[in-house]
Amino acid sequence: MRQKILVTGANGQLGMEIRELEKSFPDFDFVFLTREDFPVHDAERARHLFETHSPRLFY
């Protein structure tokens, strides 16, 4: 089973850098979420996103 990595802030500097590195890690599935996709102020929606994507790692 491939490990899934959830990256929040996908349009930020770090998110964009991780997106570039994604090509170097073909054994992982990356999920990139923007501020609009992942509203940190909405705990219920954030919980739903974690349950939906079931990431192994998140940054």
- Domain boundaries defined on the chain: 3-58
What is the model's pLDDT at position 58?
60
What is the model's pLDDT at position 59?
56
How many other C-beta atoms lie within 10 A of the C-beta of residue 7? 22
With a CB cutoff of 8 Å and minimum separation 6, the contacts of 14 are 59
Which residues of the chain register pLDDT less than 70? 57-59
* Residue whose entry in the numeric block shows the structure tokens 């079931």: 54
